[in-house]
Amino acid sequence: MWWSNLFADMSPASFFNFSFLPKYGLFFIQGIEYTLLLAVFAVLLAVVPALLLALMRLSKNRLIRGLSGAYIAVFRSTPLLVQLSIIYFGLFSVISIPRITVLGFVDISRFIPGVVALALNSSAYVAEIFRAGILAVDAGQMEAARSLGLSKWSSMQLVVLPQAIKNVLPALANEIITMVKESSICSMLGMAELMFAAKAVASATYITLAPYTIAALIYFCINYPASKGIEAIERRMRRGDKQ
C-alpha cells in the first residue's frame, strides 16, 4: 500500500524513516503494555514498604530510624542499573522462577525481578513522600485524637494517615510517571518493554534513529498528558482544601 512506502526512500539514519512500522508496529504496542505493567506494579509494590520506612524514619528509636535511613541512603545513592543487576543475577539466581509467558509476550522469569528491583528503588523515594505527607498534617490532629482516648498507633492509623495519604496522592501519581521512564533500564536485561522494542527494531532493520524517535514520542505521549492531569487534580484538591 502507498502508506507503507511513504518513508522507504529515506536514509537509515533519518529520524523520520518509519518504513518499519507496518511490520514492527506490534513490537511497540507490546512494549507500551510491558512498560505500563512494570511501572504500575512497581509503584503498587513499593507503597507498603515505603509507608513502613516512613514510619520508621519518624520513630524515636535511633536504631529503627537509622535502619530506615540506611536503606533510603543506599537505594537513593546507587545507580538503578547496579541495583537491577544485583537483584537479577544475585537474588533471583537463588530464587528460581519458572519461565511462564503471559499475555503472549511477558516472561514472568524476567518481569518479576524487574518489578522487584524497581519497587525496592521506588520505595526509598516514596518513603520520603510519605514522611513529608505525615509531617504536613497538623500536630494538633494527633493531640486531638489522643485526647479522645485513642492510642498513638490508633491515632496515626485513623486520623493522621488518611490525611497524609490525601496529601501524597499527586506525588505518588508523579512517581508512576517517573517509573514509566525508569523502567527503560530493564531493557538492559532483555525485558521486552518499550526501549527494548526500539533496540530490537533498530537491530533488525538497520534503521538507527527512527525507532528511538518513535519510543521518545510514545514516552512523551504517555507522560506529558499524565503530568498535566496530575497538575489539574492538585489544583482541584487545593481548591477543596480552601473551601
Side-chain half-sphere CA neighbours of 195 within 13 A = 13
Based on the structure, what is the number of domains in the chain?
1
State whether residue 107 is helix, strand or coil: strand
The chain-wide mean pLDDT, for the chain, equals: 83
pLDDT tens by residue, 52-108: 999 888 888 889 989 999 999 999 999 998 999 999 888 888 887 888 877 777 888
Mean pLDDT of 94-123: 85
Mean pLDDT of 178-185: 88
DSSP-derived secondary structure for 117-172: HHHHHHHHHHHHHHHHHHHHS-HHHHHHHHHTT--HHHHIIIIIHHHHHHHHHHHH
What's the pLDDT score for residue 235? 77
CATH number for the domain spanning 110: value is 1.10.3720.10
d(CA 103, CA 75): 31
Bin 97: left if φ > 0, else alpha if -120 < ψ < 50, else beta: beta
Instruction: Name the phi and psi angles at 106, rounded to 5.
Output: -95, 110
The residue type of 53 is: L
Q: What is the pLDDT of residue 238?
A: 66
Whole-number pLDDT of residue 242: 53
CA 177 to centroid of chain Cα atoms: 6
Q: Which three cell numbers stand for residue 234?
A: 492538585
Among 31-35, 171-175, 193-197, the minimum mean pLDDT is found in 171-175
pLDDT score, position 3: 46
User: What residues make up the domain containing 109?
Assistant: 2-242
Spatial distance between the Cα atoms of 61 and 227, rounded to a whole number of angstroms: 38
Task: Give residue-wise pLDDT tens across range 124-147.
Answer: 999 988 888 888 777 777 777 777
Q: Quick one: pLDDT at residue 6?
A: 47
Rounded Cα–Cα distance for residues 76 and 70 (Å): 10
**DSSP 8-state class, residue 99:** -
Sequence length of the chain is: 243
Average pLDDT over residues 108-123: 90
